[in-house]
Structure 1
């Protein structure tokens, strides 16, 4: 017997003072510290609220902040591992 597991897709995104929240199509809600993504942490609440889904929801893009985060990466515990991210605190 084989089991097919679809990749999770985002359908809603929001930030509070210190967390990024992603609601998945299957009803789960995932929260991660903004400090894992320094561009989001340093962005204004208004810039963080202006996001776009990548494709059908495989990822999230913030045009004003030059940030892209994949849903699979969030679920795997990934952080901003670019040089900019490491220099600005995501490795804490």
Structure 2
């Protein structure tokens, strides 16, 4: 029996920011979110600039033009962040 495996990379339909969280709606129906503070450039950006996120490259990338920052949707969904989670206050 032959089995054909097709890689189905995550693709974003839309992206938005609420507070310091970035959210993506994916083509498979999932909504995923991540803290902007997990990326160096986004961590330094004010909330009004975070809200100017756009979906590019047919849903495979996120772009912040004013910040000159690009992230891949696949990297975000896989949890490949630049910075660790901040330590939680006890």
- TM-score bracket relative to the smaller structure: 0.7 to 0.9
Length-normalised TM-score, structure 2: 0.77
Contact 2:18–2:51 (8 Å) recurs in 1: no
Q: Which position in structure 2 is the counterpart of 1:59?
A: 61
SS in 1 for 2:55: strand
Give the whole-Å Cα distance in 1 for the aligned partners of 2:47 and 2:35: 15
Kindly report the root-mean-square deviation, in angstroms, between the aligned alpha carbons of the 2 structures: 1.6
The separation in 2 between residues aligned to 1:16 and 1:38, in whole angstroms, is 18
Choose which of 36, 40, 43 in structure 1 pairs with 2:42.
Answer: 40
Q: Deviations over 1:1-39 (max 9, x none)?
A: 123132111111112223211111111111112221132
Residue correspondences, number: 83
What is the match of residue 18 of structure 2?
Answer: 16
In structure 1, stretches of 5+ residues that fail to align are 81-89
Q: Which structure has the bigger radius of gyration?
A: 2
